[in-house]
Amino acid sequence: MLRYLTAGESHGKALTGILEGIPAGLELTENFINEELTLRQKGYGRGKRMQIETDKIKIFSGVRQGLTTGSPIALMLENKDFENWKEVMSVEKNNNFERKILRPRAGHADLGGMLKFGFSDARNVLERSSARETAMRTAIGSICKKMLLEFGIEVFAEILSIGGTSENTEAKIDEAKNEGDTLGGKIKIVAKNVPVGLGSYVHWDKKLDGRLAFQLVSIQAIKAIEFGLGTKIAELKGSQVHDEISWNNQKGFFRLTNNSGGIEGGMSNGENIEIILSMKPLPTLMKPLKSVNFETKETEFSHVERADVCAVFACSVIAKNLTAFVLAEAFLEKFGGDSIKEIKTNFENYLFSVKGLQSN
């Protein structure tokens, strides 16, 4: 069973994570993970936080001499910005509450979290609900990406649009910045060489598209997910939507189109898995929207926290790696073993079996 857990706050000492279920014998270095973390920090429109943090992962367990051991992998990512936020993050000092955040932001977890947990300070909410948490999920997903590469499975991300356009996006971001506003966008995720049969139609919680949706929509700013044609299928006839099946000696069975996005009946069908994600504009605006003071109940402008104008590229890296986690999870369920060598044997036997079923 592949699973992970993360902990840590945006301006706390560090983010930590544990990934359990990666088999023994996978080549893994901190540098490989750091390459993905560096990508997450890039993209036009990022804020000053990215000028402070130079994310470098530390592996504390589960890897020895460059190879995974099959034990849980423990990771830590220090927050350099913690030094600048010690006073804010410390327990109340001399009953000084001047730093309390009382004006929740529209579109953020602030108000819901305060009401849910009984807080009178939104800082308790925003530190954990912040997108900074996704840095650890990026690291965890990168390990899964490395495992999938052992079996020829690759996952890619592409920016389709920002603020509703695919042209002159930097100028669009600059315009939003000058207006004190933010922008979202659309992201495409493609997974190639995924074997047929990952996931299952047998139980609802085993369906691959459902599991991908669960994981990807959990990314803080993602508000919609589509597979293949996505929402366009509601406008078309069945004859225009469903992928016709063909066969030849080289490929065996294959689809003539990929409108389903590589998943049918909750299972991968051997075609590329294609996903479209819609990311909302970030909720922290330099020209803030109206809110209500949590204590006085008076109308005020919402709290302004240092933030990005646009983080669509960063989100694409996170989404790519979390897609890798779900595919790795389903892959290990199908071809499970305690070591990479054992899994490769299981995988090769399955491919041989499938090839036999597809031959004359």
Q: Are the C-beta atoms of 294 and 104 separated by less than 8 Å?
A: yes
| Number of residues assigned to the chain | 360
Q: What is the DSSP letter of 280?
A: P
Tell me the pLDDT tens digit for each residue of 29-84.
999 999 999 999 888 887 665 555 678 999 999 999 999 999 999 999 998 877 66
Locate all alpha helices (DSSP H) within the chain, ordered by sequence.
Answer: 30-40, 49-52, 86-89, 110-117, 123-129, 134-149, 169-178, 208-217, 238-241, 312-335, 340-358
pLDDT of 98 above 60: no
CA quadruple 69, 326, 112, 127: dihedral sign: positive
Q: How many helices (H) and strands (E) does the chain have?
A: 11, 16
* Residue-level pLDDT at 99: 72
The mean of the pLDDT values for the chain is 93
Which CATH number characterizes residue 49's domain? 3.60.150.10
pLDDT of 92 above 90: no
Query: Which residue from 289, 286, 284, 294 is spatially nearest to 103, judged by alpha carbons?
Result: 294
SS3 341: helix
How many domains in the chain? 1
Q: Rounded distance, CA 126 to CA 282, Å?
A: 13
Cα 144 to chain centroid, rounded:
12
Band of pLDDT at residue 348, cut at 50, 70 and 90: very high
Please give the pLDDT value at position 94: 45
Reported as a single tens digit per residue, the pLDDT across 119-157 is 999 999 999 999 999 999 999 999 999 999 999 999 999
- What residue numbers bound the domain in which 335 lies? 3-358
Please tell me the pTM assigned to this model.
0.93
Say which residue, 93 or 61, is predicted with more confidence. Answer: 61
